Amino acid sequence: MTIDESFDELYRLLRGSRCASPLLSARTLFDSGKVAESIAELKKIRHTYQESRKNTLATEFDESNPADKEFKQLLKRQSKAVDAIGQMDGLVSMLTLQIPQVQKPNATVAPKSIQTRRISSPSDDLDNDLRQKLPLATTDVDVRRVLSQHCNLTMVADDHALHAGERFVIFSNGLGYVVEVDEPPLENNSVRILTWLDRKRMLPIPFSKWNKSDSKSKVLKLEPFALEAVPTIAVPTIQVPEFSLKLPGTDRGGENSETAERDKILDVGAFSQLLDAAQRSGIVPGSGVIIQVRDCEFRLGRFNKGLQMMETLYTTFIAAESQRNQRLQREEAEIASGRKKISPKDLQAKRAQDNQTTQVVDRTKVRFQRVLEGLRGLLPLEKASNEMD
């Protein structure tokens, strides 16, 4: 899975939550070459998401009645939360690999220099680093943050065969413990483990509990990043050209004509008008997305990605509009039936205000549709540009 695909998959999991909009910001930072800032933003998102799902992940139900509706819903929510956290960890790992490859435009590198990264098996450097940082990690969040800088944290498969020396992290009661499988791994159908830092033997864990479904997010396997030596070749200092959308029949010098061709279908002004209407309507929760699409995706020719973001925002807007209409209908019914008392003067002022807001909402819908149609019309230009690349 590529980094773009990972961002798409993670956004699908987070859609509707308060972490979805910050995730788009993290993606924009990555697209702009600011990988370290993107990683920092992702880690903030991960912490926020885990805190918001703490009760869901910690709740335990009796599995004796798996057909219970409440049990099924909890299991589904826990599975989605574990999935999202795993996706974030994986994405952070993938972005971390990109950091040595990102160089500033004016940076020069010593000729024939070689950057050597860690290999797949746990190295002395890795062990020493973890031995220094883990004792300072006082919570499960801190432990996960330290480990995610060096290892992938993966859920244990049901058919996984335990081997002596394998490392796992166990999260329990707000703490995280790095453990190592002892020799022999199993005794009396229980998993034998040692604390990794001080080599103290822990109480064996029954294998049935180890493989329990609600333990999947609490017992994770440590897999050090598999990285190889990457040569870095000296390159002359160059000025990186600014991206321009290449349309059929134009060359690199035809930036003005390219922009003019794009603006015939959709211009920046349409986004500004939409943004103004959305803010006036008061029912578009993520109007900041409009700014991001206008200033990033639209200007850089990523029309397909911009269309996806705007369609998601439009769906949220339509749902909010429907809820508003239902609320107004309920209020009118309550006033007509006498359940809600209101003076004629206040009723007239209320209806005037509601009508004014309805006009703004209708205007917002029209401007949304204009932007969406424009982005759809620009998709062939993006495709032609990609084919020319």
Tens digit of each residue's pLDDT (9 = 90 or more) over 290-324 = 888 888 888 888 888 889 988 888 888 888 888 88
Could you report the per-residue pLDDT of 231-276, keeping only the tens digit for each? 444 444 444 444 444 444 444 444 555 666 677 788 888 888 888 8
Mean pLDDT over 325-332 rounds to 90
Q: Of 85, 100, 115, which residue is a domain's last? A: 100
Confidence of residue 228 (pLDDT cuts 50, 70, 90): very low
Q: Is 246 within the bounds of a domain?
A: no
Identify the H or E element spanning 167: strand 167-172
pLDDT of residue 227: 43
Return the structure tokens found at 242.
């600014």
- Distance in angstroms (rounded) separating the CA atoms of residues 46 and 67: 32
Q: Specify whether 96 is located in the same domain as 132.
A: no
The beta-strand segments (E) located in 133-289 are 151-155, 167-172, 175-187, 190-195, 205-206, 219-224, 230-232
pLDDT of residue 2: 77
39 with 95: CB under 8 angstroms? yes
pLDDT of residue 253: 45
Q: List, in order, residues 6 or more apart from 94 with CB less than 8 Å away.
A: 3, 6
pLDDT of residue 114: 34
Q: To 5 degrees, how large is the angle CA 265–CA 31–CA 255? A: 40
Q: Is 52 within the bounds of a domain?
A: yes
**Relative orientation angle of helices 20-31 and 3-14, to the nearest 10 degrees:** 170
pLDDT of residue 248: 41
pLDDT of residue 27: 85
Q: Specify whether 159 is located in the same domain as 210.
A: yes
- Distance in angstroms (rounded) separating the CA atoms of residues 25 and 384: 27
Could you report the per-residue pLDDT of 106-147, keeping only the tens digit for each? 444 444 333 333 333 445 666 777 887 887 776 777 788 788
Confidence of residue 379 (pLDDT cuts 50, 70, 90): confident
pLDDT of residue 67: 61
The 8-class DSSP code of residue 38 comes to H
CA 87, 42, 96, 171 torsion: positive or negative? negative
Q: Specify whether 143 is located in the same domain as 199.
A: yes
Q: Which residue has the tokens 């008392």?
A: 341
Structure-model confidence comparison of residues 206 and 124, the more confident one? 206
Q: Is 114 within the bounds of a domain?
A: no
* Proportion of the chain above pLDDT 70, given as a percent: 78
Q: Specify whether 80 is located in the same domain as 151.
A: no
Of the candidates 104, 119, 108, the one whose C-alpha atom is nearest the C-alpha of residue 232 is 108
Of the candidates 251, 237, 379, the one whose C-alpha atom is nearest the C-alpha of residue 308 is 379
Could you report the per-residue pLDDT of 55-67, keeping only the tens digit for each? 877 776 555 555 6
- Distance in angstroms (rounded) separating the CA atoms of residues 357 and 344: 20
pLDDT of residue 110: 40
pLDDT of residue 60: 63
Structure-model confidence comparison of residues 250 and 37, the more confident one? 37
80 with 57: CB under 8 angstroms? no
Mean pLDDT over 60-78 rounds to 68
Structure-model confidence comparison of residues 336 and 251, the more confident one? 336
258 with 248: CB under 8 angstroms? no
Q: Which residues pair with 194 in a beta bridge?
A: 180, 201
Q: Specify whether 56 is located in the same domain as 9.
A: yes
> What is the pLDDT of the chain when averaged over all its residues?
76
Q: Specify whether 265 is located in the same domain as 348.
A: yes
Q: Is 341 within the bounds of a domain?
A: yes
* Proportion of the chain above pLDDT 90, given as a percent: 1
Q: Does residue 184 have a cis peptide bond before it, meaning omega lies within 30 degrees of 0? A: yes
Q: Of 224, 245, 271, which residue is a domain's last? A: 224
Could you report the per-residue pLDDT of 153-200, keeping only the tens digit for each? 777 777 778 888 888 888 877 778 889 998 888 888 888 898 888 888
Number of domains in the chain: 3
Q: Specify whether 264 is located in the same domain as 379.
A: yes
Q: Specify whether 133 is located in the same domain as 95.
A: no
pLDDT of residue 286 exceeding 80, the answer is no
Mean pLDDT over 351-379 rounds to 89
Q: Specify whether 384 is located in the same domain as 259.
A: yes
Q: Which residue has the tokens 């009796």?
A: 62
Mean pLDDT over 60-87 rounds to 72
Q: Specify whether 88 is located in the same domain as 136.
A: no
pLDDT of residue 261: 67
Of the candidates 381, 379, 378, 376, the one whose C-alpha atom is nearest the C-alpha of residue 250 is 381
Q: Specify whether 75 is located in the same domain as 129.
A: no
CATH number of residue 164's parent domain: 2.30.30
Return the structure tokens found at 42.
């992702």
Q: Specify whether 156 is located in the same domain as 194.
A: yes
Mean pLDDT over 189-217 rounds to 78
Q: Is 180 within the bounds of a domain?
A: yes
Q: Is 110 within the bounds of a domain?
A: no
Quote the longest CA-to-CA distance of the chain.
85
Q: Is 231 within the bounds of a domain?
A: no
pLDDT of residue 153: 77
Q: Which domain holds residue 149?
A: 124-224
Confidence of residue 98 (pLDDT cuts 50, 70, 90): confident
Q: Is 208 within the bounds of a domain?
A: yes
Structure-model confidence comparison of residues 259 and 214, the more confident one? 259
pLDDT of residue 125: 64
3-state secondary structure of 279: helix
Mean pLDDT over 32-36 rounds to 82
CA 162, 207, 76, 313 torsion: positive or negative? negative
- Report residue 335 CA to chain centroid gap: 45
